Chain A
Amino acid sequence: MPEFAVATQNLWVTYNGLTVLEDVSLEIEAGRFVGILGPNGAGKSTLLKVILGLVRPTRGRVSVFGESPDKLRRQGEALGYLPQKPLINPHFPVSVLDVVLMGRYGRIGLGRRHRPEDVRAARRHLEMVGISHLAHRPIGEISGGEQQRVFIARALCVEPRLLILDEPMISLDACAQDDLYELVYDLKGKLRLTVLMVSHDIGGVARHVNDIVCLNRRVHVHQPPPIGRIPLESTFGCSVEYLFHGEIPHRVVKVHDE
Chain B
Amino acid sequence: MRDFILKRVAALILPFVCVYGFYVIFHGHISPGGSFAGGIIVGLSFIAFSTIYGIEKGRAKLSEDVLTWTESFGTLWYGIMGMVGIFKGVPFLANKLAGIDLGLPGELFSSGLISYIGLGVGIRVASTMITIFFTLMEDEE
Judge: A and B partners, yes or no: no
Residues of A within 8 A of B (CB): none
